[in-house]
Structure 1
């Protein structure tokens, strides 16, 4: 089980997106995602998202807003992608994997974009985001965060391989 972060950084109606094309054995290979990554020992999600954004983009987040927690439940994912998960991340009873992602937004940052060793960074208009190669569940939480009044939420996304099979928002199944 992992704890990760993701931050949708917004500027002038655009989100900073990362096209994951450079990292080996990347579960997100070919997908467009926001900057973020895995929490390290001793880090809070806030510490992690600030560190990861700085490392991947060169931008310093001056403030962030914690928008929600996303539970990713991947059925048999570890068996399909053994090289992507450590022994500790796999269940001894199945190849299912559960990860928790802390979802943040920010429009308060400074710095200059750098080249990212995980892919290509690009400012993409919010209207164009659905045209990108995204995980289907990402469209659900992107829809939630576009509303600044959206309360903190808990979203569970169940995948079988790359296919989203169930989405549960605050305890209620959604279509």
Structure 2
């Protein structure tokens, strides 16, 4: 299991998005996601989000808001990610992987946007987000984070390969199409 972070940075009705096109063996290759990455030893999720945003964008977050935890249950894709796990963490009877992603937002940052060695950074208008090549589950949490009244949430997304097969929000199975951004 891995703990990762994503931080959607908002400015003037746009989100800063990263088109993942440069990193080899990238499960997100070709997808648009937010800046983020894996927590390092001794880091809190907050620390990780701040570090990853700075490394990938050149922007320093002044404040950030922890919006939710997303559990990714990926069936039959673990072989593509074996280098991320120790032998003890790998289940010899399954190729399933569970990861936890801490989801943050921020609209309070400083600095100048730099280039990213993992892809291209671009400010995308909120009303164009659904036009991007995204994981289907990302559209669910886009809708959740865009709601200013949305409380902290737990979202479990089950994928078989690239196909979203189930979404569970705060313990209740939902129809992903009801939550599409």
Q: Classify the TM-score, shorter chain.
A: over 0.9
Cross-structure match for 1:93: 93
1:142 alignment partner, SS class: helix
1:67 alignment partner, SS class: strand
Q: 1:18 to 1:152 in 2, by over 3 A?
A: same
Cross-structure match for 1:12: 12
Cross-structure match for 2:51: 51
Counting matched residue pairs gives: 174
Unaligned runs of 5+ in 2: 176-181
Does residue 1:37 correspond to 2:46, yes or no?
no
| Residue-by-residue CA offset, 1:50-103 (whole Å, 9 max, x unaligned) | 000000000000000000000000011113x25564344532331100000000
1:24 deviation in Å? 0.3
Q: 1:128 to 1:84 in 2, by over 3 A?
A: farther
- TM-score under structure 1 normalisation? 0.96
1:150 deviation in Å? 0.2
Distance in 2 of aligned mates of 1:84 and 1:42: 21
Q: 1:82 to 1:35 in 2, by over 3 A?
A: closer
* Aligned Cα root-mean-square deviation (Å): 1.1
1:164 alignment partner, SS class: strand
1:11 deviation in Å? 0.2
Shift >3 Å, 4+ stretches: 82-89
Distance in 2 of aligned mates of 1:155 and 1:105: 16
Contact 1:78 1:84 in 2 (8 A): no
Unaligned runs of 5+ in 1: none
1:148 deviation in Å? 1.1
Contact 1:157 1:166 in 2 (8 A): yes
Counterparts of 1:41-80 in structure 2 under 5 Å?
Answer: 41-79=41-79
Cross-structure match for 1:132: 132
